[in-house]
Amino acid sequence: MCQTAVIRDDFCHTSSFCVQIIIKFKQMSKLPFEPAMGDEVILLNFWLSPYGMRVRIALEEKSIKYENREEDLSNKSALLLQMNPVHKKIPVLIHNGKPICESLIAVEYIDEVWNDQSPLLPSDPHQRSQARFWADYVDTKIYETAIRFWRTEGREKEAAREEFLECIELLEEQLGNEPYFGGKNFGFVDVALVPLFCYFNTFSLYAKFIHEAQYPKIVAWAKRCTQKESVSKCFPKEQDVKQNFPQK
Kindly state whether residue 128 participates in binding another protein, applying the rule CB under 8 A.
yes
Kindly state whether residue 136 participates in binding another protein, applying the rule CB under 8 A.
yes
Q: For another protein, which is the closer residue by CB, 10 or 144? A: 144
* Residues in contact with 89: Cβ distance below 8 Å, sequence separation at least 6, in sequence order: 101
Contact range with another protein by CB under 8 A, out of 45-53, 68-76, 106-114, 147-155: 106-114
Kindly state whether residue 132 participates in binding another protein, applying the rule CB under 8 A.
yes
Beta bridge partners of 44: 69, 92
* Distance in Å, CB of 93 to another protein, minimum: 9
**CA-to-CA distance for 2 and 141, rounded, in angstroms?**
47
Handedness of CA 196, 198, 199, 204 (dihedral sign): positive
Q: For another protein, which is the closer residue by CB, 62 or 235? A: 62
DSSP H or E segment with residue 197 = helix 196-202
Residue type, 226: T
* Distance in Å, CB of 171 to another protein, minimum: 11
**CA-to-CA distance for 85 and 175, rounded, in angstroms?**
38
Q: In the complex, which residues of this chain contact another protein (CB under 8 A)?
A: 33, 86-87, 95, 98, 100-102, 105-106, 108-109, 112-113, 125-126, 128-130, 132-133, 136-137, 170
